[in-house]
Amino acid sequence: MLGFIYSVVSYLAFLGTFVYFAWFSDGIGVPRTVDNAPAATLSVALAINIGLMLLFGLQHSVMARPAFKRALTRIVPERLERATYVLASSVALALLMWQWRQVDGVLWHVQNFTLASLLWAVNGLGWLGVPLCSFMIDHFDLFGLKPALNGFRKVSFQRKGFVAPLLYKYVRHPMMTSLLVGLWVTPSMTVGHLLLSLGMTAYVIIGVHFEERALARELGQAYALYQACTPKFFPIGSSPKPVLSDTLSS
């Protein structure tokens, strides 16, 4: 029971941190934002902010590696490994927002009401798309609730295998596409926001590279075919060969 409660706390921490990060990035609704943070000299601000983004990226990448997972499950039960990853990710992101330093300068600011409203609408769709896309595969598995619940119920847990439902038929990583839209599509872009967007984009590109290497090893030919037929982030440049089924067996 305690393990399941732990996974619920981890999940709620993710939800709260992610929502705050969207507002932090957009500069609305919360007291601490990317453009309303403690001041520092430019060199100090760059060093701190880049260091925070590197820490976040390293946490995400290292904890996702099979060798780290094996080591972690010697300390925590396997059913709680994913919840621990999610909780650590939330802590790393919260630390980034807490210690972020303001970097002044405006690159663009759209004053036209209609255009600004359109950009805000696309921005909102981007942030909402991250959790929505996770429901297209297995949201509660991805964020650690299902393994913990099945462990509590003493029910064996078996993942679906390789699936390509809905938006996953058109891009391989729609969650990351949504995150990029949330970061970049905005009516106001400051130097600090640009730094955050560049750092998180680098994390996405590097993280997806290693994730796909792991998926290719795990799923073999099925994933290789999917890679050949489906663009990575945006539905352009795809192969004429479609993915015909929601589920591809390896």
Q: Give the distance, in angstroms, between the CA of residue 15 and the centroid of all CA atoms in the same chain.
A: 12
Task: Judge whether 221 lies within some domain.
Answer: yes
Which residue carries 């941190």 as its tokens?
17
- pLDDT for residue 156: 57
Q: Which residues form the domain of 224?
A: 2-229
Please work out, in degrees rounded to the nearest 5, the angle formed at the alpha carbon of residue 229 by the alpha carbons of 228 and 235. 120
pTM of the model: 0.86
Other Cβ atoms closer than 10 A to 116: 15
Highest mean pLDDT among 101-110, 159-168, 212-221: 101-110
Task: Judge whether 20 lies within some domain.
Answer: yes
Is residue 15 within 8 A of residue 145, CB to CB? The reply is no
Rounded-to-integer distance, Cα 179 and Cα 126, Å: 6
Task: Judge whether 243 lies within some domain.
Answer: no
All residues at 6 or more sequence positions from 210 whose CB lies less than 8 Å from its CB, including other chains? 61, 64, 65
pLDDT in tens, 181-240: 999 999 999 999 999 999 999 999 998 988 888 888 888 888 888 888 899 999 886 554
Q: How many domains is the chain built from?
A: 1
- pLDDT for residue 157: 53
Is residue 147 within 8 A of residue 80, CB to CB? The reply is yes
Rounded-to-integer distance, Cα 137 and Cα 172, Å: 12
Sign of the Cα torsion 146, 150, 151, 156 reads negative
- pLDDT for residue 46: 96
Question: How buried is 232 (Cβ within 10 angstroms: 0-12 exposed, 13-18 middle, 19+ buried)?
Answer: middle
For residue 220, give both structure tokens.
Answer: 């073999």
Rounded-to-integer distance, Cα 216 and Cα 78, Å: 23
SS (H, E, C) 176-214: HHHHHHHHHCCCEEEHHHHHHHHHHHHHHHHHHHHHHHH
Is residue 122 within 8 A of residue 181, CB to CB? The reply is yes
Task: Judge whether 206 lies within some domain.
Answer: yes
Is residue 74 within 8 A of residue 221, CB to CB? The reply is no
Read off the pLDDT band of 152 (50, 70, 90).
low
For residue 205, give both structure tokens.
Answer: 């590109």
Read off the pLDDT band of 93 (50, 70, 90).
very high
The 8-class DSSP code of residue 36 comes to B
Q: Give the distance, in angstroms, between the CA of residue 227 and the centroid of all CA atoms in the same chain.
A: 20
Q: Assess whether pLDDT exceeds 60 at residue 245.
A: no
Average pLDDT, the chain: 88
